[in-house]
Amino acid sequence: MRAPEEIQADIMDALTSVIDPELGVDVVNLGLINSVDLKDDGICDLSMTLTMMGCPLQGILRREVTQALVTVPEVHHVNIDLVWEPAWTVARMSRRTRLLLGIH
């Protein structure tokens, strides 16, 4: 059995493989992930937001997040809760991402 910290690190690594097609940046560094909770039965509850309400990429991102998470051996099912509070702002991006996109 792997340590929870190791599993959590693998989950976050998996999420960095999900790229927002419009911005070309992963969902973690964009600051779209609010929380991730993996239960003992392999159900992963994820809370995330998008850069704007009504984002046309919502379905694509949900599918890609799910596909990425189930690559982690301990994850058997993914529940995604798409929330709008707290609202996404550029301040949620990693510093590196803001610099990459020219946002200071």
Mean pLDDT per 10-residue segment, the chain (104 residues): 94 98 95 97 97 89 98 98 93 94 88
Q: What is the pTM of this model?
A: 0.92
pLDDT of the residue at 55: 83
Determine the topology of domain 4-88 in CATH. GMP Synthetase; Chain A, domain 3 (3.30.300)
Q: How far is CA 18 from the centre of its chain?
A: 7
Domain ranges of the chain: 4-88
pLDDT of the residue at 83: 95
pLDDT of the residue at 104: 77
pLDDT of the residue at 46: 98
pLDDT of the residue at 53: 87
Nearest to 32 by CA among 65, 60, 4, 3: 65
DSSP-derived secondary structure letter, 8: H
Cα-based distances in Å from 99 to 14, 52, 93, 94: 23, 21, 10, 9
